[in-house]
Chain A
Amino acid sequence: MINIRDLRFNYERDGFGLRVDALSIAGGERVAWTGPSGSGKTTLLQLVAGITAPAAGRVESCGVELTGLPDAARRDFRIANVGLVFQDFALLDYLSVLDNILLPYRINGSLRLDAAARARAEQLATELGLAELLLRRPTRLSHGERQRVAVCRALVADPRLVLADEPTANLDADNGSRVLDALDQHATERGATLVVVTHDEKLLSRFDRTIDVSSFCNRLQASNVGGADDEG
C-alpha cells in the first residue's frame, strides 16, 4: 500500500530534513506514527498523501508512484484514494455539519454527490453520534464533536488510505476512543490502510505497528538535498 524508498526532503528555511531509506506499510495495516514535535510526522503524512512532493526518492501510495507526478495528478490521487483528518479539524464555519462531511463531493467534480453519498454521510454521522447535529454550524460544536465531523469527512468517500494527523489531540479519553473506533471500523470493514499520527502512548496498543518517525528526521545543512512544498 505504501512504499517509500530513498526519500529525501527538507525545508531549506530551517534546515529540517527527512531521510527515509525504506518504509513499507501493507494494505489494511493499522500503523501509528510517533515521535516528538517537529520530528516530521506531519511532513511524512503529507508526502504520502501527495500534498507535498519529495526532492528525491520514491513514494508509492495505493499503487501510485507519486514522485514526479504533477499537482493535478496528485490531487486526483488524493480524491480517489485518501481520507485526511487534520489536527486542527479544518472545518468550514459557514457550512453545516452535513455539508462539511460532504465537502469532498462539493469541491471535486470527479466525486458524484448522489443519494448514496448523502446516505453514507448520514450513516457515518449517526455512528459517530452526530445525527442530531447535522444542520448545526461547527462554531456551535464542542472540540470532540468537531473532530468527529472531521473524521466523517475523511471517511465519507470510502478512501483506501486514511491518514489522520493527531486525531485524538485535545480530546478527552471518551471522545478520543470514539474517534479511533470509527477509524478502526472503517479500516476493518473496507480493508483500508490506516496511518495515525499520535503522541498518546496509551493508544499504541490499538495499532498493528508503531513507527517512530524521529528516526527519519535529519537536521540537514542548507547545502544538502532540497525539497519542494508545492501546495502550501
Chain B
Amino acid sequence: MKGNLYLAWQYLCHHRATTAVLVASITLIMYLPAALDVIVDNAEEHFRSRAASTPLVIGSRGNPLELVLASLYFDEPYDDVLRMEQLHRVEKQELGQAIPLDTRFQARNCAIVGTTTGYAQLRNFRVAQGRIWNLMGECVVGARVAERLELRVGSKIPVSSATAFVLDGAPLRLNVVGILAATETADDEAMFVDLKTTWIIAGLGHGHASGAQHGSTAAATFTDITAENADSFHFHGDDATFPLTAIIVTPTNQKAETLLLGQYLSPEETVQIVRPSDVMDALLKKVLMVRSYIVAIVAVVSLVTLVTMALVIVLSIRLRRAEITTMSKLGCSRFAIARILGSQIFILLLASATLAAVLTQITDAYGRELIRLLIL
C-alpha cells in the first residue's frame, strides 16, 4: 500500500469510533436520497404496471381512486356495489371482454375475490400447485396467502363474513384447489373464487338436501360444496340484481374504449368508468411532488451535515498540528501531508459510497417487498 494511503488507513483504524460515525453520516447522506429514489421508482413501476394491465374499470359512482385501489389491489373490503345488469350491459354491446369482481369479503384477513376465469387469463395466472377453480366453493390462493396461512391444496378455509350463510349461520368452507406462483402483485395476497361463491357467502344462494323445505331442519345448508352436492346449490332472486363491486373491461380496440368511456359520462349514470392508468398517474403525480419535497429536505440536511463534517475534519487537522510538524521536520512535503489527509477523506468517502451502494442495491432488490410491506 502506498505510504499516504497506509498512514491514512492506520489513522482511521486507530480512531475507529470517529471513523464509524463519519462513515455512517456520509453513508446516510448518500443512501437516503438514493433509497428514496429506488423505493419511489419501484412503487411507481409497481402501480403503473398493474394499472397499465387493467384497461378500464367500471364501478359505482364515488372516489375513482378507491375504486381502483379496491379493484386492482384489493386494498379494503369494498362495499359500494353495482348490479349484474351492468355486466350484461357491457357484454351485450360486445365492445370488449368484461370480467366481474366482487371484493366485499375476507377470510382470515385476506381478500376474497369473486370473479371468473377470465380474470386468471387477464393476469396470466400461473398455478404453482393444483389447478384453477372449476366449481363454486373452490378457491385458488395467492402465493403469500398460502405461505402465511400455511395452506396446501386440499386445505379448508372457513369464511368469517358475518353475512355468510344467513339462513343457519353455518360458515361455508372454501376448498383450496390451487396455489398461485408468486407474482409480487396484489394477487399474491388474495384468494380467488368463482363469482357465485361470493354470492353464496353473501347469502344469496345456498345448497341443501333435495326436497327439503326452506326453514325446515332438513334444509340445513351444506358447509362444503362438492361435486356431489353442487347441483343442489341455487340462488334466490333475479341474477341481474346480484351484486358486483367492479367490472374490469378490456376493450376490443380504441374505438370500443372511446365508446365505453362515453357511455358513463351522463350525470344520471349511477356507475362510473375509469382508466386505472389515469387514476394512478394522478396519484403518482402527488407522490412525486412529495418526493421532491423530501429530496429538498434531505439535500438541506446533507449540506448541513457535510459542513459539520468539514468542520470536524478541519478541527482534527488542527489537533494534529504537532504530528504534521513532526512529519514536516522529518522531510515530508506539504503536498505529501495534504495527500495523507486527502487519502483519509478519500477512504471515508469510498467506504461510505460502497456502503451506500450496497444498501441501495439491497433496497432495490427488496424494493417490491418493501412496497408490499409499506403500501399494500
Across the interface, A109 reaches (CB within 8 A) one of B3, B11, B328, namely: B3
B329 A51 Cβ-Cβ under 8 A: yes
Chain B interface residue count, Cβ-Cβ cutoff 8 angstroms? 21
Which residues on the A side are within 8 Å of B331 (C-beta)? 75-76, 78-79, 104, 107-108
B10 A104 Cβ-Cβ under 8 A: no
**Residue on A nearest B336 in the bound complex, by CB:** A107
Is B323 an interface residue, CB under 8 A from the partner? yes
A-B contact sample (4 more), CB < 8 A, given A78-B330, A84-B329, A94-B14? A49-B329, A78-B329, A108-B330, A137-B14
Is A72 an interface residue, CB under 8 A from the partner? yes
B330 A231 Cβ-Cβ under 8 A: no
- In Å, the complex CA distance between A86 and B11 comes to 22
Chain A interface residue count, Cβ-Cβ cutoff 8 angstroms? 26
Which residues on the B side are within 8 Å of A49 (C-beta)? 329
- In Å, the complex CA distance between A84 and B325 comes to 13
* B326, B327, B328, B340 interface centre (most CB from chain A within 10 Å): B326
A to B CB contacts below 8 Å, 22 in the list:
A75-B331, A75-B333, A76-B331, A78-B331, A79-B330, A86-B329, A94-B11, A95-B7, A99-B10, A103-B330, A104-B331, A105-B3, A106-B3, A107-B7, A107-B336, A108-B336, A113-B3, A137-B14, A231-B328, A231-B329, A232-B325, A232-B328
Across the interface, A107 reaches (CB within 8 A) one of B3, B13, B322, namely: B3
A84 B11 Cβ-Cβ under 8 A: no
Which residues on the B side are within 8 Å of A94 (C-beta)? 10-11, 13-15
A3 to chain B, nearest CB (A): 22
Which A positions have Cβ atoms within 8 angstroms of B? Answer: 49, 51, 72, 75-76, 78-79, 84, 86, 90, 92-95, 99, 103-109, 113, 137, 231-232
A139 to chain B, nearest CB (A): 10
Which residues on the B side are within 8 Å of A95 (C-beta)? 7, 10
B10 A72 Cβ-Cβ under 8 A: no
A106 B7 Cβ-Cβ under 8 A: yes
Is B332 an interface residue, CB under 8 A from the partner? yes
Given A94-B15, A106-B7, A107-B3, A72-B333 contact (CB < 8 Å): yes
Q: Nearest 3 pairs between A and B by C-beta?
A: A94-B14, A79-B331, A107-B332
